[in-house]
């Protein structure tokens, strides 16, 4: 019985550590309110009361894990050290995998705001390291006597990007696991990806770690799970792909369904009524208000 429990610990994390509570995840912190994937955005999400902080990681030239959705310094939001915007042409050459973190840190990620999110506050802020985010959040939660927060960390990798924009999956997975293990947050971690290879490698490192398969395709549940090779603890599709049949199929296999990225209150309520186990939103404040 003991060994069975150990083998299922990743699943038990999802079913019992969340206590069946509807999981409200702040997408890139709270991108609708503060610059994405930055420490101020993560702290704001904690203040709002999210269950989980959703974030993206990429690897620098010197092997550090930096929080960034894009493998380059995006021309839409990034500002150069001299105060001028990164151009689209410059962005192509500013690959994070080719840059040491000391150089990346000189670029600003918040002063320009984001045209897709007009309510986002503009502040001077750099892309942080994953370890810095964890240290800051854990310190804040402890100081304010808040419930433990969970981390949903996405590996940004593609087969085409291997050794160009990202390390190979085994290297990426080990680097990420080393950080979360060192920070003692593995029991509160979800590792998610659109790239099944990094999830497969993560399972080799720690069979009990909680994994989430991100889905944007229309291949269907069965084909996606077959490609992954094992049932993840969480199936995380783009929210338009979610229906009652999919949720029933997932729940029959003890897989939770947490769709992305849901920003209007009507859809939030609809997904919860359908039986979704949580959602990822740029506006966790709206989700908390709508789903109380």
Please write down the HEC assignment for all residues of 151-175: EEEEECCCCCCECCCECCHHHHHHH
The tens digit of pLDDT for each residue in 237-280 reads 999 999 999 999 999 999 999 999 999 999 999 999 999 999 99
Residue 110 lies in a domain: no
Residue 142 lies in a domain: yes
Residue 103 lies in a domain: no
Give the per-residue pLDDT at 74: 97
Give the per-residue pLDDT at 77: 98
φ, ψ for residue 162, nearest 5 deg: -55, 125
Query: pTM for the complete prediction?
Result: 0.93
Give the sign of the dihedral formed by CA 154, CA 159, CA 165, CA 167. Answer: positive
Task: Give 21-59 as a 3 state SS string.
Answer: CCEEEECCCCCCCCCCCCHHHHHHHHHHCCCEEEEEEEE
172 close to 59: Cβ distance less than 8 angstroms = yes
Give the per-residue pLDDT at 1: 33
Domain count, the chain: 1
Give the per-residue pLDDT at 4: 34
What DSSP line would sit under 236-262, residue for residue?
EEBGGG--HHHHHHHHHTT-EE--B--
Give the per-residue pLDDT at 20: 56
Cα–Cα distance, 45 to 24 (Å, whole number): 10
Residue 82 lies in a domain: no
φ, ψ for residue 145, nearest 5 deg: 50, 50
| Residue 133 half-sphere exposure toward CB, CA atoms < 13 A | 35
Residue 40: which CATH number?
3.20.20.190
Range of the domain at 214: 2-71+126-290
Give the per-residue pLDDT at 292: 80
Q: Is 5 helix (H, G, I), strand (E, B) or coil?
A: helix
Residue 236 lies in a domain: yes
Quick one: which of 59, 148, 76 has its CA closest to 110? 76
The tens digit of pLDDT for each residue in 150-188 reads 999 999 999 999 999 999 999 999 999 999 999 999 999
What does each C-alpha distance from 264 to 113, 239, 282, 287, 290 come to in angstroms?
Answer: 21, 11, 10, 8, 9
Residue 92 lies in a domain: no
Residue 248 lies in a domain: yes
Residue 65 lies in a domain: yes
Cβ-in-10-Å burial (0-12, 13-18, 19+) of 17 comes to: middle
Give the per-residue pLDDT at 39: 98
Residues of the chain with pLDDT under 50: 1-19
Interacting residues of 270 by C-beta distance below 8 A, sequence separation 6+: none
């Amino acid at each position: 019985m003991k060994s069975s429990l150990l083998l299922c610990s990743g699943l038990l994390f999802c079913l019992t550590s969340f206590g069946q509570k509807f999981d409200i995840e702040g997408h890139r912190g709270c991108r609708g309110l503060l610059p994405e994937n930055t420490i101020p955005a993560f702290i704001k999400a904690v203040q709002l009361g999210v269950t989980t902080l959703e974030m993206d990681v990429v690897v620098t030239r010197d092997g550090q894990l930096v929080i960034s959705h894009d493998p380059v310094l995006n021309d839409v939001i990034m500002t150069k050290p001299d105060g001028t915007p990164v151009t689209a042409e410059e962005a192509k050459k500013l690959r994070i995998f080719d840059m040491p973190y000391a150089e990346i840190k000189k670029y600003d990620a918040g002063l320009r705001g984001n045209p897709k999110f007009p309510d986002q506050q503009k502040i001077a802020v750099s892309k942080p390291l994953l370890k810095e985010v964890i240290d800051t959040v854990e310190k804040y939660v402890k100081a304010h006597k808040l419930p433990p927060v969970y981390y949903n960390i996405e590996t940004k990798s593609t087969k085409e990007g291997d050794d160009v924009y990202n390390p190979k999956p085994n290297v990426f997975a080990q680097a990420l696991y080393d950080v979360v293990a060192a920070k003692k947050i593995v029991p509160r971690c979800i590792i998610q990806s659109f790239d099944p290879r990094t999830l497969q490698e993560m399972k080799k490192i720690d069979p009990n770690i909680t994994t989430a398969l991100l889905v944007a395709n229309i291949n269907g549940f069965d084909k996606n799970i077959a490609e992954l090779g094992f049932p993840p603890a969480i199936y995380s599709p783009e929210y338009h792909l979610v229906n009652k049949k999919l949720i029933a199929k997932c729940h029959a296999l003890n897989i939770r369904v947490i769709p992305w990225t849901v920003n209007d209150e009507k859809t939030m309520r609809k997904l919860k009524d359908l039986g979704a186990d949580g959602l990822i939103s740029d506006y966790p404040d709206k989700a908390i208000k709508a789903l109380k």
